[in-house]
Amino acid sequence: MKIKATFVQDGKWWVAWTDDVPGALTQGATLEEARENLIDAVHCIQEPVDLARVPKSKVVVQEIEV
């Protein structure tokens, strides 16, 4: 899958995101690290979360206002 990525240098960090996959936002110390982190973020967003595999004592589900 190909996506259009945006990279912006903010101080010593590179911020990366893509509008092609909402929620995929990351950063890196270098442009290459930001690119790799964005690829990982896209893959993580596309994976379903199986809460059954997480110990119940570590799961908190809340309704919050934003």
* pLDDT at residue number 8: 98
Whole-number average pLDDT of the chain: 92
* pLDDT at residue number 27: 98
* pLDDT at residue number 60: 80
We report the CATH number of the domain holding residue 43 as: 3.30.160.250
Backbone angles phi, psi at 12, to 5 degrees: -95, 5
Do 2 and 17 touch, CB atoms closer than 8 A? no
36 falls within a domain: yes
Mean pLDDT calculated for residue range 46-51: 82
Query: Would you call 46 helix, strand, or coil by DSSP?
Result: helix
Q: pLDDT tens, 14-40? A: 999 999 999 999 999 999 999 999 999
The rounded distance, in Å, linking the Cα atoms of 2 and 24 is 14
∠ at Cα 20 (16, 9), nearest 5°?
15
65 falls within a domain: no
22 falls within a domain: yes
